[in-house]
């Protein structure tokens, strides 16, 4: 199972908005993706409650792992997303 380590780039960590953006992106991936912090058990990346329960703050290194079709591509897309400051991005026309 391929893995990728990435440092959380969002200024507020994986709290509500960044976690939601990450979970939505994970749900669109063709591979089943897991995310873990340290030695803790990996959780499904498409579960908002599981991702929030990680308590990942800015600078936390997380491990993404994927299984299935296009696993490497899924990891790349999600790692790139996590490395960004998702708190700084606000889609135009959004009430967020």
Residues classed as catalytic: 15
> Encoding tokens for residue 39?
């030695």
- State how far the alpha carbon of 39 is from the alpha carbons of 13, 17, 57, 78, in Å: 19, 25, 16, 20
């Amino acid at each position: 199972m391929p893995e990728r380590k990435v440092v959380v780039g969002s200024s507020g960590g994986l709290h509500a908005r960044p976690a939601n953006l990450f979970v939505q992106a994970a749900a669109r991936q063709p591979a089943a993706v897991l995310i873990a912090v340290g030695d803790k058990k990996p959780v499904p990346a498409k579960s908002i409650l599981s991702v929030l329960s990680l308590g990942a703050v800015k600078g936390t290194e997380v491990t993404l792992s994927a299984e299935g079709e296009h696993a490497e591509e899924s990891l790349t897309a999600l790692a790139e997303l996590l490395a960004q400051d998702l708190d700084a991005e606000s889609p135009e026309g959004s009430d967020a």
